Amino acid sequence: MIDSEALLKRSDLAWMGQNTTHLEPPAEVVEALLESTHRREFQFYAPALGFEELRELILADLGLPGQAAMITDGAVGGLHHICTALAPKLSRLIATDPGWPWPGRFVQLQDVPVTAVEVYSAAAGYKLTAAALAKVIEPGALLYLIDPLNPLGSSYRRDELEAIVELARDHDAIVVHDCTYRHFADGHTLVAELYPEATLTTYSFSKWLGLAGLRLGAIAGLPGLLGRLTAVPSNPLGASIVAQRAAIAGLKVSGGWLRELRRVNRRNQEIVTEAVERSPFGPVLVRPSQGNFLAVDIAGHGWTADQVCAALLERDVFIRSGTYQSPAFGDRFVKVSTSVPTPWAERFAAAWAGLEPR
Ligand SMILES: Cc1ncc(COP(=O)(O)O)c(C=O)c1O
């Protein structure tokens, strides 16, 4: 794991390694944080499932009005709870490699086997195909589908999701649709629209609203399925009240904020892509990335991904090695987060230009 405590001490670091957002936040969000703090709301516990207003705003944001939501300590708190609560009835967890490793690790604690389908392939569109899923799916499986996919930046079209859902339905599989990066995508279909009876949608405020340090997320699902999680919440004392106030304020001004966020994100992706194209390294694997990050192949030039990241860190740019997210391909790519101030993207470009093949 990275030593984020040491990195946080470096106030001049371009923080492009965790897909967090570092733009000036909406004034309304900061105001809500200050007001909640001044009212000393931090002295209270929140309702176990979160404020009703926040849950309704999240469901409206997702466009899932018939569903229910519970607020969690970050999306990862929700994922941990899903994995813990459902594990005893799961036959297997199916994820992707590359992907995000934590749900697999959570279910493994309860001896649930994990299959990570390899998706580092242009032919597969750098994502899970129904054909690949058909080879591994089994009755009672849980499919953990990250969309847009961190770290590659691919996203699923509606017809692709329909084919995946058909397989899930045939095998009574539950789908966890991790929508942490949905707000950065040009278009996005929710699995919950196609397979509501067995889909849990996970939601995060860390990326699109830039609240990573406040630890706030949610799970949405039909009341019956969500009831398996709300019966015994993982945090019955409720997620941070202060964070929930900030999230409510952010959702109320999300239209203007997202327009600007997406504009800056795209611009920075262009700067990073141009820097990669001018260098012997590359390519950027998925263009345009549907997330706030780009994956860059670095194989064939005498560098490992960890070495590239270390070299950039010396130049005050923190990017992420593929080894964090891919046992099979981690050495051959790095990930660069782009919802950051444009001078950081420019600093990345200058630092990248200093990398020479060995
Ligand atoms: C795919 C994915 N899911 C969940 C999370 C965790 O989000 P949160 O900060 O809301 O816990 C991340 C964070 O990087 C992620 O990449």
The predicted model gives 317-325 an average pLDDT of 97
Task: Say how far apart CA 90 and CA 111 lie, in whole Å.
Answer: 10
Atom of ligand 1 nearest to the CA of 99: 1
The predicted model gives 281-286 an average pLDDT of 98
Q: How confident is the model at residue 291 (pLDDT cuts 50, 70, 90)?
A: very high
Q: What DSSP designation does 161 have? A: H
- 146 close to ligand 1 (CB < 6 Angstrom): yes
The predicted model gives 303-328 an average pLDDT of 97
Task: Say how far apart CA 224 and CA 140 lie, in whole Å.
Answer: 17
Angle between helices 27-38 and 241-252 (to 10 degrees): 150
Q: Please name the amino acid found at residue 200.
A: L
> Tens of pLDDT along 55-77?
999 999 999 999 999 999 999 99
1, pLDDT greater than 80: no
348 inside domain: yes
Final residue of a domain: which of 201, 224, 252? 252
Same domain, 36 and 10: no
Same domain, 91 and 231: yes
Atom of ligand 1 nearest to the CA of 79: 4
Same domain, 8 and 94: no
Q: What DSSP designation does 25 have? A: P
Final residue of a domain: which of 203, 218, 252? 252
149: domain CATH number? 3.40.640.10
Residue range(s) defining the domain that contains residue 109: 27-252
| Number of domains the chain contains | 2
- Number of other residues whose CB lies within 10 A of the CB of residue 275: 23
**What DSSP element (H or E) covers 111?**
none
pLDDT at 141: 98
* DSSP string across 114-150: EEEEE---TTTTTS--HHHHHHH--TTEEEEEESS-T
284, pLDDT greater than 80: yes
Long-range CB contacts for residues 51-58, cutoff 8 Å, separation at least 24: 51/244, 51/248, 53/248, 54/244, 54/247, 54/248, 54/251, 55/218, 57/247, 57/248, 57/251, 57/252, 58/203, 58/218, 58/220, 58/251
- 152 close to ligand 1 (CB < 6 Angstrom): no
In sign, the C-alpha dihedral spanning 284, 260, 244, 36 is positive
Q: How confident is the model at residue 2 (pLDDT cuts 50, 70, 90)?
A: confident
> Given the DSSP bridges, would you call strands 141-146 and 114-118 parallel, antiparallel or unpaired?
unpaired
Same domain, 225 and 186: yes
161, pLDDT greater than 80: yes
* DSSP string across 204-225: ESSSSS--GGG--EEEEE-HHH
Atom of ligand 1 nearest to the CA of 76: 11
358 inside domain: no
Task: Say how far apart CA 295 and CA 320 lie, in whole Å.
Answer: 9
- 180 close to ligand 1 (CB < 6 Angstrom): yes
The pTM (predicted TM-score) of the whole model is 0.98
